[in-house]
Amino acid sequence: MARATGAWGQLLKVDPLPVLASSKNAAIAFFVRRDLLGLDAGPVSTLWDLPEVRKIVAKQNPEGSWRYPGGKPHVRSRENYDQLETFRQVGILVEEFSFTREHPAMERAAEFLFSFQTDEGDFRGIYGNQYATTYVGAIMELLVKAGYADDPRIAKGFLWLLATRQSDGGWAIPLRTVGVPFSEFVDLQRHPKPIAPDKAKPFSHLVTGMVLRAFAAHPAHCRSAEARQAAELLAARLYKNDAYGDRGAVNYWERVSFPFWFTDIVSALDSLSRMGFCPDVPTISAALDRLKKIQRTDGTFGLRLMKNKSEDLPCWICLALCRSLKRWRDSTSRSP
């Protein structure tokens, strides 16, 4: 039976490797072997032919999108609903099956998402004509992971993100900084043009965490001074209320999803670990102590599961946390 070894396993109350290694989910078993045990799991492309992957790809439309089920015409257009659904499906393919642009379905999906990029550099439509800082970062994260890190359109997106930071170095939803409620986000008649942020207002950790995922995934931008500053802001806000009302209460830190969607404690630790932040940072240490307290006897965690509530979600969340812990162990072992 596989056992956690090294410093990362000691940060937990219960060894999570037995429950992860015994998963019947082929993708989870692959990543446990490769990412946690450091063993040869074979080419990741072997996951691309799994039945669940073929089922997702079969539903892709010719232009690269996936159709959103349902929707309300007064909230967003069919095309923009499909942008949201394509983001969701690409998240599954990239995060659960390590899809890259080498797969034709990923290439088609990327081009569909890029079709929503404006001349300014942001990806627009999910919030109507307004800036959707949240989804710009989240979409770019997936595209970077899928092999588009060097694409000039991604570079353009990073320039836009850097230009729209709040004065404190973090990000917020621009409409929120001027007091516009969510019900007006997509009101095209009331807000036909995007509203610029009031940069003097404070950052939102919800938004900053989603944007930071794009920076953390990028091999160059993850080392930038701007990303470091934003990461320090995020680290300082772990388990605190947001400055804005959207998912603003403390309990939202433990409402988690995988693939990552909004900012939660798992996605935040993932970004911070990718950027070299260590467990001895007081807020990170306190967060790990909290996770240790709510760890179950089987090694998974007592977090509230959101979005896709499949039976494998507790293991995906556990795997994501273990990856963060192992990054810290590996970075420590490389230190002089």
Domain assignments of the chain as residue spans, ordered by start: 121-251
pLDDT tens-place string over residues 283-311? 999 999 999 999 999 999 999 998 666 89
pTM of the model: 0.94
Res 209 pLDDT > 70: yes
Write out pLDDT tens, residues 218-243: 999 999 999 999 999 999 999 999 99
Cis check: omega of the bond before 259, within 30 degrees of 0 = yes
pLDDT in the model for residue 1: 46
Give the rounded distance of the alpha carbon of 316 from its chain centre: 13
Torsional sign, CA 122, 127, 131, 137: negative
What pLDDT does 308 receive?
64
Q: How many CB atoms lie within 10 A of CB 329?
A: 18
Q: Which of 14-23, 185-194, 317-326 has the lowest mean pLDDT?
A: 185-194
> So what's the pLDDT on residue 135?
98
Under a CB-based contact definition with an 8 Å cutoff, are residues 123 and 113 in contact? Answer: yes
Res 336: pLDDT: 33
Kindly give the pairing relationship between strand 255-256 and strand 304-305: parallel
pLDDT for 335 equals 39
Range with lowest mean pLDDT among 40-44, 58-62, 180-184: 180-184
Residue 76 has a pLDDT of 78
Number of neighbours of residue 162 by Cβ within 10 angstroms: 14
Residue 333 has pLDDT above 70, yes or no: no
Q: Distance of alpha carbon 114 from its chain centroid, rounded? A: 18
